[in-house]
Amino acid sequence: MNYQHLFEEGRIGHVILKNRVVMPAMGTGMAGPYGEITDHQIRYYEERAKGGVGLIITEFTSIDYELGRGIVNQLRIDEDRFIPGLHRLARAVQKYGTKIFVQLHHAGRESNSLLTGGKQIVAPSPVTCAAIGEEPRELTTSEVKEIINKFISGAFRCKVAGIDGVELHGAHGYLINQFLSPNTNLRTDEYGGTFEKRMRFLEEIITGIKKLCGKDFPVTVRLSVDEFEEGGINLQLSRKISRYLEKIGADGLHASSGNYNTMETVIESPLFEEGWKVYLAEEIKKEVTIPVITVGNIRDPRFAETILAEGKADFVAIGRGHIAEPDWVHKAAEGREKEIRMCISCLHCIHSVSNGPGMVKCSINVRAGRELEFAEVTSIDEKRRVVIVGGGPGGMEAARVLSMRGYDVTLFEKEDRLGGQLNLVTDPVYKKKMKKYVQYLCNEMEQLKVDIRLNKEVSVEEITSFNPYAVLLATGGIPLVPNIEGYALPNVCNYRDVKLENNIFHDKKVAVLGSGMVCHSTSRRLSEKGNEVILVELPTKSGSKISPATRTRLMNKLRKENVKIITDHKVNKLQSNGLSLEKIDSGEMVEIEVDQIVIAMGVQPYNPLEKSLRKAMENVFVIGDAAGYTSLGDATRGGFEKAYVLESLVTTN
């Protein structure tokens, strides 16, 4: 396809961009312990610049590390000592013809006392963010002016470092957003009250930057055009804000949405349609002549081209899509759309930054955030055969990397198609995204000429007949059967039976046990078939990996389908006419009458070959669900890592 609009030059202020694709700000958690740029961080951004993106906007960068931090290990530019690191980053990116802006940020009430060393968080007014749960202290007028100067000083340091421009983070409920919103700005001084006074904080930042850095230094603003919160910023107010920002000298607007209380509209779950909030940018573009950037789950280059061709925005921001596929731009430009590893919106990157070690990870791109560790795929010196059993995501990822390295790979899959557990996704929106990922993997198998053998449940004898250098077992998992009395009754089945329609019900009363994505989709599928569905939510390993925002959305979808939801109970017994529950807090027994019971509590390892195979040969490795993992990210990581270091594993095994 000819992407005439996507790959034409664009302009933001006096800066010319080589195309209309922007990588927006996304937290990586990769900064050093004091907020400094790290080598890993530079390499991460450089990889995306090398992939052809026109503009990179860095992750949110603190202008007030004492009271304004949003996460641990956040990038900062509140002191001169951070200029050299930022200069290194700028040079690493700019050598590919990519421009770079720094997003300047203060969290305000969306910080917490753990990040501020126990100090009370601050905001325009003492209005608590429900998602945070800590009441902020109202900033004094003099403190407001100090923060304005910190934004201005941060921008000047960026200019000194050779950065091409700055974006002011006025979205997602952070401090600038708090000054703009009628919900959070209840001040009575010069920075609150009327529309103009609520704008004053941002206005003085913009005019101050222009005065100190020069009119040629671009300043854009990211806005939550709709906070999706009663009484907050909405589209009507944002039209007025946008016109005002153009009037006072803003060089561009970045149309986003939401705040921490409406987080699912900030970072979308898999259940959101592609480009669902492009309409916000489209409406703002009608109000201003300065460029408008649109964002929101944009994945496919053909869709991105349509947005620009129809004049809905001037630039498209591909965010998580660039975490999953650093070469998104080059592959689109070269007509290699099938080779684009499109983001599936699983939120693994968000969870990884928010939890655990706090560094960005991707469930389908293991190299994301680890570009220095996996600098390049090295080729082997001599041809060697590897056998892989299982054609799910872990097995195919291992086959992909091994083939790229020069191994002769044979992959056995007992089913008639590749994809494994990914083929069980039934939610209409999520299924489209997962289908594209499976198609990407299948295309890689074809391009790399992997020997694929479908409908083949291979034996130990057949495997050893290849005399393989190594064997990777990616045989996946089977539905977990809980140790509950009555699980073997004829009216009890598992989610896989429902998903594959081996056992589908109509006009029945059905209880579904479990939690997690598969449990919710099973409940919805049964409801759509005309059944009366009761979801008994039980804690599971897979359910614990769902974010609160996604869980809320899943629950709401089920309620719209008239699914009854029972929580805070445990199951004592399954019966031919129903099930016996016990309230966790009181111990009260509850009897539920149903026709059918479906167990959807996740998977357990399916690994029938390992024991016998290890007796016949060495160098047998198990990955994915077969090794006891339960997530796509774990399966992909296992396949990639084993393939990347296979010779070392064989040597030391």
From its phi and psi, is residue 418 left (phi > 0), alpha (psi between -120 and 50) or beta? Answer: beta
Catalytic choice (3, 65, 174, 437): 174
Cβ neighbors of 446 (< 8 A, separation 6 or more) are none
Helix/strand/coil for 575:
strand
Helix/strand/coil for 5:
coil
For 601, the token pair is: 């509590």
For 52, the token pair is: 């052809």
d(CA 226, CA 224): 5
Would strands 315-317 and 21-23 be described as parallel, antiparallel, or unpaired?
Answer: parallel
Closest CA to 143 of 180, 108, 168: 108
Q: How many CB atoms lie within 10 A of CB 71?
A: 19
Q: Are 384 and 408 in contact, with CB atoms under 8 Å apart?
A: yes
260 is catalytic: no
Q: Which residue is listed with tokens 């081209």? A: 305
Burial 128-166 (b: 16+ CB within 10 A, else e): ebeebebebbbbeeeebeebbebbbbbbbbbbebebbbb
Closest CA to 102 of 168, 39, 54: 168
CA distances to 12, 391, 448, 456, 537 from 639, rounded to whole Å, are: 42, 11, 16, 21, 32
Q: Which residues pair with 532 in a beta bridge?
A: 509
Beta strands in 475-544 (DSSP E): 477-479, 492-494, 509-514, 532-537
Cβ neighbors of 361 (< 8 A, separation 6 or more) are 348, 349, 352, 368, 369, 633
Q: What are phi and psi of 456, to 5 degrees?
A: -135, 105
Radius of gyration of the CA atoms of the chain, in A: 27
Q: Are 317 and 298 in contact, with CB atoms under 8 Å apart?
A: yes
Task: Provide the residue count of the chain.
Answer: 653
d(CA 554, CA 631): 18
Which 3-state string (H, E, C) describes 528-562? HCCCEEEEEECCCCCHHHCCHHHHHHHHHHHHHCC
Q: Which residues pair with 510 in a beta bridge?
A: 533, 596
Cα atoms in the Cβ-side hemisphere of radius 13 Å centred on 512: 34
Q: What's at 440, amino acid-wise?
A: Y
Q: Provide the Cα torsion 245, 250, 253, 257; round to 10°.
A: -50
Q: Are 12 and 100 in contact, with CB atoms under 8 Å apart?
A: no
Would strands 589-593 and 492-494 be described as parallel, antiparallel, or unpaired?
Answer: unpaired
Q: What's at 597, amino acid-wise?
A: I
Active site residues: 174
